[in-house]
Amino acid sequence: MANHKSALKRIRSSEKKRLLNRYQHRTTRNAIKKLREITDAKEAQKMLPDVISMVDKLAKKNIIHANKAGNIKSNLTKHVNAL
């Protein structure tokens, strides 16, 4: 157990950040799955910018690596254009 006040605060804040990051990552992954399941081209075109924005936010906050974000965006765009 931590002995310093600052260490206790760090534990509390780290846990809050961990839970928020986990929620955002899970939400984004669900949105990606939904986008991949869509068969209607117009609906997919409409949803793509929102999902790309979510992925960019994860990369900006270092929840996922920037290159992984680029790969996800590239693959999603290819998928939507193929519909």
Q: Report if pTM > 0.85.
A: no
pLDDT of 1 above 80: no
For 40-78, the pLDDT digits (tens) are 999 999 999 999 999 999 999 999 999 999 999 999 999
How far is 19 from 13, CA to CA, in rounded Å? 10
Query: SS in 3 state form for the chain?
Result: CCCCHHHHHHHHHHHHHHHHHHHHHHHHHHHHHHHHHCCCHHHHHHHHHHHHHHHHHHHHCCCCCHHHHHHHHHHHHHHHHHC
